[in-house]
Amino acid sequence: MSQALISQVLIGLSVAAILAIAAMGLAIIFGIAGVINMAHGQFIMVGAYTAAVVGQLGGNTFVAIPVAFVVVALLGLIVERGIIQWIYDRPLETLLATWGVGIILEVLMKVIFGPELYYVGAPKILDGGIRLIGRLPYPYYRMFLIAVALVMLFVTLYIIFRTDFGLKVRSVRRNRAMSGCLGIDTARIDMLIFMYGSGLAGIAGAVLAPIKSVSTTMGFSYAVGSYMVIVLGGVGNLLGVPTGSFLIGEGETLLAYKYNAVIGQLLVFVAIVIAIRVFPRGIFGYHERR
Amino acid sequence: MIASAIGNRLALRSQAMSWYRGRTMSLLEVNQLTTKVSGYTILNNLNFSIEKNELRVLLGPNGAGKTTLMAMITGQFKPTSGKIVFDGRDITGLAPDDIFLAGISRKFQVPNMYETLSVYNNVMVSLAGDRKVFKYLFKRITPAENDRIWEILEFVDLAERANDPADTLSHGERQWLEIAMLVASRPKLLLLDEPTTGMTEEGKRRTADLILRIAKNHTVLLVEHDMHVVRQIARDKVTVMHQGQVLAEGSLAEVVDNQEVREVYLGKGGFH
Amino acid sequence: MENKAAQRTRVVERAPLLPLWALILGALLIAIIGSFPYLSGTNSYVLLLIGKFLCFAIFALSIDLIWGFAGILSLGQAVYFGIGAYFVALSLKINYAMTHPTRYGSKFPDFMEWNGLTALPTFMEPLINVPFAVVAALAVPTFLAFIFGVITFKRHIYGVYCAVITLAESLILQEFIIEYQAYTGGFNGITDYGNFVGAPFLWIILAVTIAFFLIARFITHSRIGTVLKSVRDNDVRAEFMGYNVANYRIFVFCVSAFMAAAAGAMYAAWVGIVSFLDTGPLFSVEGVIWTAVGGRATLIGPFVGAFLVRGLEFLLSGSWFANYWQVFMGILFIAVVLWIPDGLIGTLGNWIRKYRRGTLTQIREEQDRIAHDRQRDWEPPGAAKPGDELV
């Protein structure tokens, strides 16, 4: 019993890592530019297709990560310059516009790649797994995912808290008007942050491709998972993402083990809704003074 | 004039009676109010009270805690410790809408109204009355309410703009509209936070005049920086705040002569 | 004399409850739609579409009520539509099965049999009573909306957060329906229980549509509507004006859920097929785009939007363009947000207003000029005038 429980907790940890990887880009964009990117799932999907193309050309996941980052960041640049820069002040309408972007991306990818599923293999080194407890193997790739989540978190923290760019980002986040007056090009910061967040979504797609068949509709459930992570964790602090992912990932896995996957999701959703009664802006929410 | 004279006399009488009974009967009493925000003490054991029908002017340098005091009274923030008693009722920590229903209306520093609604509707929404959803559902405007809206709009000189959306108003007109909205709600206490900021000289004079006319039958607490306006308005007591505490209280002349006030608030200059 | 002059300015411009031209136009439209079955028979596909579109229009109206007039964007409105639809569809299916035994002779819905049930589950027995099912189809979604509102609005959760939570809500309901296919029909939905396509039910739909339009009209144009709009414009001010903002939001959210549920219930009876897609996020967002295209914060907008977008989809369904319909929808989303944020009807209204009294900027400029003139009159003689050189 306890062994099964521990292995479930470990599985939950990798589910949490997947959620964290998917949510990181969204949290960055929402936290700083104030935009919920409804096309986030499709950005992840584009990243996964990039990985599939890299795989076809003979590369593996390690090659796919930087490629997907660049490809999706450029995609983010186009979306930001073309659409979102005009409607930053209307958050609910950015929701609709980015939803439209998502639909277009889905059809576009279907036209380019066709309706069939693509499979991307994990790199050779990460094949197999170790037996931690009992007979259930714990795949190396799951550990790799946890590592990727941690690296993404620390790189992002480093950029935000240790670089000049991050300083500007934080000042824009705190007081946009004042930062503008002090000579920070807030539009450029928004653009770069949107690109960076999109790039992270691309990385998410690239590392998630081997654990899920690549299709045009693969992104949506990841996107909704990311929204929940953000709602629960809050965007005031980047620690909200790992915290939210951990709670949701473990909660869903353990409840799915006890009941079934849908009941698990439902209970976690109810728990989130109850939790935001206590933390209206998420656990690490930034409470604004009016 | 007569009404205000009677009002003043009544106020004096109630003051005298409360003195006789040995306890205060102030409209608003703030006792030992302390507010700390992330380590900084903004209000420090503040004691403060307003009598009925008074027009109190609150002065103080930037950061003295005037706006914070207003936020505390109206329930925007909760104080760290202390008590706020309004009209014999403890209102500390109540929600803003409950405090409004108790009788306190607040004007924000920045004009704050419903932009897409017409000026008329802005005042209509603010009329006194029950605010419960289902009691509101079938309520229609009575002729008496309609007359009152127009009276108020004429009072603040916005009757001609009644049907325009509020976001077509100029900055000064917005301030007057917000004051009109407060008056419409028949408050027992009006809190006005710098109603003349950003106005022209003429606008300030007219606003001061408006406040004096309102104060004839309302209790008003006014935060103001502009000394011209203060001189025009300060007919009763003036309170000077500094570093979250009351520094001096009295008539304008007394306060101006107070040496401490001169030091902390006016520096070496003086009133001009 | 002076008093009279004052009286003359005391005129409130209020839109009449229903202007004459709208009454005539509306009556005409109702007559055309209502007489359609008599003209073309009840087998016409167009007739089916008309009833469907009316249900969609009510659905869009319910979104308009909360989004356009109270500023709450829900991306999960289909939850209420879907629950209403499933209650009615289940009830009709159970009744249908009692008179039409399955291949193996059982008298309960076939999809339950396929999934290994041997009898109607006891908790579904009340649904045999159709009126009860209809009441439940309306009451349960309204109650759920109430619970949701109490949980979120009471804690000042709205805007983007509310949109995201409602989206997840709708996704989870969808997965729930797929998972518990023994009770809900799963992927295939609930089908084959007959439908009510025909003149009598069309008149019912029309009557409900008119009733809901009038209710929405009453809510948005009475005092409570003014309060709702003030909450939408500036909830902080409304709160400091004594309004319990959360209660107003909950009220309008419940009314909206009730409308969506009624639309779903009628949809299930009219079309004769209900599937998990009718409760999903895609359908929710589609409703939002109908409202946006037609014009939010207008009551005709949702009708125009639903009929226009869905009608266009129908007209183009045969052509090569149908493959790219989704792209068109995506472009529509972006175009509406970027170029016609007020929607078609809203933009039309703006033009009419502009024609009547000038644009907002014109009004502003005029008022600035008046204020400036007054200001100049006030200046004491001898003061420097604009243009005078400073010596």
Tell me, yes or no, if C169 comes closer than 8 A to chain A by beta carbon: yes
- How far C99 CA lies from chain A's nearest CA (Å)? 34
State mean pLDDT over B189-212: 84
Is it the case that residue B262 has pLDDT exceeding 80? no
Weakest-pLDDT range from B24-28, B264-268, C204-208, C218-222: B264-268
Is it the case that residue B24 has pLDDT exceeding 60? no
The residue among B25 and C345 whose pLDDT is bigger is C345
Ordered alpha helix ranges (H), B185-217: 201-215
Quick one: which H or E segment has residue C327? helix C325-339
CB contact under 8 A, B116 and C229: yes
pLDDT in single tens digits along all 391 residues of chain C = 344 444 556 777 766 666 677 778 888 888 888 887 777 776 778 888 889 999 999 999 999 999 999 989 999 999 999 999 999 999 999 998 888 887 777 778 888 888 888 888 888 888 889 999 999 999 999 999 999 998 888 877 777 888 888 999 999 999 889 988 888 888 888 988 888 888 889 999 999 999 999 999 889 888 888 999 999 988 888 888 889 999 999 999 999 999 999 999 999 999 989 999 899 888 999 999 999 999 888 888 999 999 999 988 888 877 777 778 888 888 888 998 898 888 888 888 888 877 776 666 666 677 666 666 655 444 433 333 333 333 2
Confidence of residue B32 (pLDDT cuts 50, 70, 90): confident
CB contact under 8 A, C12 and B120: yes
Which chains does chain B touch, 3 or more C-beta pairs < 8 A? C
Q: Which of A96, A224, A265 sits opposite C167 (nearest CB)?
A: A224
Tell me, yes or no, if C164 comes closer than 8 A to chain A by beta carbon: yes
Confidence of residue A52 (pLDDT cuts 50, 70, 90): very high
User: For chain B, what is the mean pLDDT?
Assistant: 80
The dihedral through the CA atoms of C358, C364, C365, C369 has a sign that is positive
Confidence of residue B267 (pLDDT cuts 50, 70, 90): low
- Residues in chain A with CB shorter than 8 Å from the CB of C279 are none
State mean pLDDT over A221-242: 85
Is it the case that residue B104 has pLDDT exceeding 70? yes
Weakest-pLDDT range from A273-282, B71-80, C201-210, C300-309: A273-282
Chains B and C form CB pairs within 8 A to the count of: 116
Q: What is the pLDDT of residue C387?
A: 35
- Residues in chain C with CB shorter than 8 Å from the CB of B198 are none
Q: Which of B74, B114, B139 sits opposite C233 (nearest CB)?
A: B114
CB contact under 8 A, B133 and C12: no
Tell me, yes or no, if A97 comes closer than 8 A to chain C by beta carbon: yes
Chains A and C form CB pairs within 8 A to the count of: 112
What is the per-residue pLDDT across C305-357, written as a single tens digit (0 to 9) for each? 999 999 888 888 777 777 788 888 888 889 988 988 888 888 888 888 777 76
Q: What is the pLDDT of residue A283?
A: 73
Is it the case that residue B268 has pLDDT exceeding 60? no
Task: List Cα–Cα distances, A143 to A64, A66, C177, in angstroms.
Answer: 18, 20, 34
* CA–CA distance, C72 with C254 (Å, rounded to integer): 12
Beta-carbon-side half-sphere exposure of residue B242 (alpha carbons within 13 Å): 12
What is the per-residue pLDDT across A56-96, written as a single tens digit (0 to 9) for each? 888 888 889 999 999 999 999 999 999 888 888 888 888 88
Tell me, yes or no, if C285 comes closer than 8 A to chain A by beta carbon: yes
State mean pLDDT over A169-174: 82
Q: What is the pLDDT of residue C112?
A: 85
Q: Which residue of C has its CA nearest to A91?
A: C160
Weakest-pLDDT range from A123-127, B155-159, B161-165, C242-246: A123-127
CB contact under 8 A, A91 and C330: no
Determine which of C223, C239, C247 to mutate to test the interface with B (most B C-beta atoms within 10 Å): C223
* CA–CA distance, B102 with C130 (Å, rounded to integer): 49
Quick one: which H or E segment has residue C229? helix C223-233
- How far B261 CA lies from chain C's nearest CA (Å)? 33
What is the per-residue pLDDT across B82-102, written as a single tens digit (0 to 9) for each? 888 888 888 888 888 888 888
Cβ-based neighbour number of residue A116 at 10 Å: 8
Is it the case that residue A154 has pLDDT exceeding 80? yes
- Residues in chain C with CB shorter than 8 Å from the CB of B74 are 240
CB contact under 8 A, A99 and C324: no
Is it the case that residue B68 has pLDDT exceeding 50? yes
* CA–CA distance, B252 with B75 (Å, rounded to integer): 29
State mean pLDDT over B122-150: 85
State mean pLDDT over A152-173: 87
Q: What is the pLDDT of residue A50?
A: 93
CB contact under 8 A, B100 and C241: yes
State mean pLDDT over A195-216: 90
Q: What is the pLDDT of residue B253?
A: 82
Supply B72's token pair: 């505390």
User: C384 exposed, middle or buried (CB, 10 Å; 0-12, 13-18, 19+)?
Assistant: exposed
| pTM for the predicted model, two decimal places | 0.87
Does the interface predicted TM-score (ipTM) exceed 0.85? yes
Q: What is the pLDDT of residue B270?
A: 46
Q: Which residue of A has its CA nearest to C158?
A: A280
| Of the candidates B109, B185, B93, B113, the residue with the CA atom closest to the CA atom of residue B145 | B185
Q: Which residue of C has its CA nearest to A267?
A: C172
Weakest-pLDDT range from A101-115, A256-270, B244-258, C324-338: B244-258
User: C185 exposed, middle or buried (CB, 10 Å; 0-12, 13-18, 19+)?
Assistant: buried
Q: What is the pLDDT of residue C383?
A: 36
Residues listed for chain C: 391
* CA–CA distance, A143 with B272 (Å, rounded to integer): 73
HEC profile of chain A: CHHHHHHHHHHHHHHHHHHHHHHHHHHHHHHHHCCCCCCHHHHHHHHHHHHHHHHHCCCCHHHHHHHHHHHHHHHHHHHHHHCHHHCCCCHHHHHHHHHHHHHHHHHHHHHHHCCCCECCCCCHHHCCEEECCCCCEEEHHHHHHHHHHHHHHHHHHHHHHHCHHHHHHHHHHHCHHHHHHCCCCHHHHHHHHHHHHHHHHHHHHHHHHHHCCECCCCHHHHHHHHHHHHHHHCCCCCCHHHHHHHHHHHHHHHHHHHCCHHHHHHHHHHHHHHHHHHCCCCCCCCCCCC
**Phi and psi, residue B160, nearest 5°:** -70, -25
Is it the case that residue A130 has pLDDT exceeding 50? yes
| Of the candidates A50, A42, A46, A82, the residue with the CA atom closest to the CA atom of residue A66 | A50
Q: Over pLDDT 90: what percentage of chain C? A: 33
Q: What is the pLDDT of residue C213?
A: 92
What is the per-residue pLDDT across C155-184, written as a single tens digit (0 to 9) for each? 777 778 888 889 999 999 998 899 888 888
| Of the candidates B180, B207, B215, B224, the residue with the CA atom closest to the CA atom of residue B1 | B215
- How far B227 CA lies from chain C's nearest CA (Å)? 20
- Residues in chain B with CB shorter than 8 Å from the CB of C69 are none
